[in-house]
Amino acid sequence: MAVGDTYRALHARSLSDPAGFWAEQAAAIDWTRPWDKVLDASNPPFCCWFPGAELNTCYNALDRHVQRGRGEQVALIYDSPVTTRKKSFTYRALRDQVAKLAGAIAAQGVRKGDRVIIYMPMIPEAVMAMLACARLGAVHSVVFGGFAANELATRIDDCTPKLVLTASCGIEPGRVVKYKPLLDQAIELAGHKVPRCIVFQRWQAPAGMVKGRDLDWNETVETAAPHGCVPVESTDPLYILYTSGTTGQPKGVVRDNGGYCVALAWSMRHLYGVQPGEVWWCASDVGWVVGHSYIVYGPLIHGATTVLYEGKPVGTPDAGAFWRVISEHRAMALFTAPTAFRAIKKEDPEGKLLKSYDLSQFRTLFLAGERGDPPTIQWAQKLLGVPIVDHWWQTETGWAICGNFVGLEPMPIKPGSCSVPSPGWQLEVLDEQGAPMKRGEVGALAARLPLPPGTFPTLWNADERYREGYFTEFPGYYKTGDAGFIDDDGYVSVMTRVDDVINVAGHRLSTGQIEEVLGAHDDVAECAVIGVADELKGQVPFGFLVLKAGVDRPHQDTVREVVQLVRDRIGPVAFFKTAIVVPRLPKTRSGKILRGTMQKIADGQPWKMPATIDDPSAIDEIAGGLKLAGYAAKT
């Protein structure tokens, strides 16, 4: 058999016989009642996986492992360099604490189908909160800790929770972020009045309590009776997750129970190559979809050990932080964002800090969240000597759209590509009229319906918005909103968001393609390209460069050389003539570069500070640089 034949046969079957294929994969999950049918796609774009079946997601993540002899295995490792705390929980201990917390939540009147908002930092109690809601059949909505009060208020009004689980504060390098005053303000702003809050007090900033509404976490849980697992329908919602950058009307992505469990179990073994009992580390946040799927539910459903890290890739204490965690906890794989590795590369371009740590058991690095630019992937490959898998997925999809399935059949890696489609994903590249494009041509990436298990069945209380936002532009397809191409080998390359494809004098160019060239320069740690308005050309590309630590030659030399690089590798058609050096790029807390905001500043359009921004001062630096370069930069 040739390399890739196993994958191609499996993928073809998932498309030709989705019911048969996914019924086999569902054997990895424990059900309390079997399904009436595997797939009901009678009302597109809405589809239901395993309708009629019953299960409990918390049972699949905890109880069954205890019952089958895995109770003394470590389930969760908490590693917090910002507080110098480390703690491990076995499957039995985690099950027992989650059962008590579920009892405390139930005592506040929360029942199956009720909503609970979780507004917490990266501490074990946040994981317990998610699992306790799942145990009761309550629908959790995790809001990233420290999110602005007005944004939290819109989510409270949209999902109308019966309870909020929170902590008094979060710890960032060099600062304490007080959560409770933000929550109090959000509840005051919201039309829906939350009747009860359970507050976990952290000693770094204990919170004031509102009498009659707020309860102390430890006191409430200590007196609670353990609660068992409540069976729910496969199609019942497990959680609502509001997409990052949401403004105005919230967009709550709904995730079901059954299809999600099946997809996560399949992916842990076949995409990530994890065996039950192995240590797996996803360096994300539970506030994002990656944290839901691969810090909490995926590894625990699979019976692995998951690492919960309260820290940063650099600064806690240095750019060797990730190597320390991998070495100390014997992690076999890491899943993080490309921006984390660009930060490490910027601070330690030679990778000298790696030499202090033993990574002999480390097998694979997985990247997602933004496009893995080839220079960063090649740097990581040279440093680590293991496969670097860039894979593609979205909040809406819940797990990977594309990847390199190292647990099924490792296939060649092409830097810049997210490899090949996951089971159930039939991808095509479409032009603006919805017609298929040729191999190698950049267009809108779209997927034929039905979508596989684990993806979003709808938006919370917004079926029509779900239909209009994702399925009407290209009938019969899911519009991903991303642009890219598929090569002759079937490998997919996601170049940019559709909105970031720029039109230069009638030529459609991907900003990701230009960024790839800029990032190849030896001085450049990371970069971003936006299209700015131009009277003659319509749009022209404009570059932002962040340089590696230790680069001390004149900035104009680097700029001149990257401009020439783009001319040499893409050609004069790119019309790339301008770039500026900036201290850093403005990003969301999940690491996505805020290109849309940067473009509005450059074009002098009104703009609003994004609610998800990691550090607002980075926007000021961009605006200042654009002013010096002669752009409008309205505030």
Q: What is the three-class DSSP state of 65?
A: helix
Percent of the chain with pLDDT over 70: 97
Q: Which residue has the tokens 């910027």?
A: 346
Q: What is the pLDDT at residue 610?
A: 80
Peptide bond into 45 cis (omega under 30): yes
Q: What is the pLDDT at residue 448?
A: 98
Domain ranges of the chain: 5-311+453-470, 515-628
Q: What is the pLDDT at residue 246?
A: 39
The model's confidence at residue 112, banded by pLDDT at 50, 70 and 90, is very high
The model's confidence at residue 506, banded by pLDDT at 50, 70 and 90, is low
459 and 465 Cβ atoms separated by less than 8 Å: yes
621 and 581 Cβ atoms separated by less than 8 Å: no
CATH 3.30.300.30 matches 515-628: yes
Q: What is the pLDDT at residue 507?
A: 66
Per-residue pLDDT of 313-329, as tens digits, reads: 999 999 999 999 999 99
- 77-88 b/e with 16+ CB inside 10 Å = b? bbbbbbeeeeeb
Domain spanning 5-311+453-470: CATH superfamily = ANL, N-terminal domain (3.40.50.12780)
* H/E run at residue 620: helix 617-628
Per-residue pLDDT of 297-315, as tens digits, reads: 999 999 999 999 999 999 9
Q: What is the pLDDT at residue 193?
A: 94
Q: Which residue has the tokens 């919170």?
A: 207
- 138-158 b/e with 16+ CB inside 10 Å = b? bbbbbbbbbbbbebbbbbbeb
Q: Give me the DSSP letters along 32-60.
A: SB--S-SEEEEETTEEEESTT-EE-HHII
Q: What is the pLDDT at residue 527?
A: 93
Beta bridge partners of 334: 281, 365
In this prediction, residues 473-494 reach a mean pLDDT of 96
Per-residue pLDDT of 529-575, as tens digits, reads: 998 888 777 788 999 999 999 999 999 999 999 999 998 888 777 88
Q: What is the three-class DSSP state of 510?
A: strand
The model's confidence at residue 479, banded by pLDDT at 50, 70 and 90, is very high
CB neighbour class for 406 (10 Å; exposed up to 12, middle 13-18, buried from 19): buried
Per-residue pLDDT of 249-300, as tens digits, reads: 789 999 999 999 999 999 999 999 999 999 999 999 999 999 999 999 999 9
Q: Cα 507–479–467 angle (5° rounding)?
A: 140
Binning the chain into helix, strand and coil, the percentages to the nearest 5 are 35, 25, 40
Look at 67 and 517; give whichever has higher pLDDT.
Answer: 67
Q: Which residue has the tokens 């740097």?
A: 379
CA distance 372 to 577: 24
Q: What is the three-class DSSP state of 90?
A: strand
Choice among 173-182, 323-332, 613-622 with the minimum mean pLDDT:
613-622
Beta strands in 498-604 (DSSP E): 501-504, 507-510, 524-534, 538-547, 578-581
The model's confidence at residue 603, banded by pLDDT at 50, 70 and 90, is confident
Kind of pairing between the strands at 252-256 and 279-282: unpaired
Q: What is the pLDDT at residue 150?
A: 86
Q: What is the dihedral of CA 114, 119, 120, 121, to 10 degrees?
A: 140
Helices (H) and strands (E) in the chain, counts: 20, 31
258 and 50 Cβ atoms separated by less than 8 Å: yes
CA distance 205 to 121: 13
Tell me the CA distances in angstroms from 382 to 61, 89, 388, one per residue in order: 36, 35, 10
Q: Which residues contact 151 (CB under 8 A, 6 or more apart)?
A: 143, 246, 611
CA distance 298 to 275: 12
Tokens encoding 540: 């022209």
Look at 587 and 383; give whichever has higher pLDDT.
Answer: 383
The model's confidence at residue 505, banded by pLDDT at 50, 70 and 90, is low
Q: What is the pLDDT at residue 247?
A: 43
User: What's the distance, CA 34 to chain centroid?
Assistant: 31
Q: What is the pLDDT at residue 571?
A: 75
Rounded to the nearest integer, the mean pLDDT of the chain is: 93
Indicate whether 475 pLDDT > 80.
yes
Indicate whether 248 pLDDT > 70.
no
Indicate whether 245 pLDDT > 60.
no
CA distance 34 to 351: 52
Indicate whether 200 pLDDT > 70.
yes
403 and 422 Cβ atoms separated by less than 8 Å: yes
Tokens encoding 541: 């590309």
CA distance 411 to 409: 6
Indicate whether 500 pLDDT > 90.
no
Beta bridge partners of 139: 115
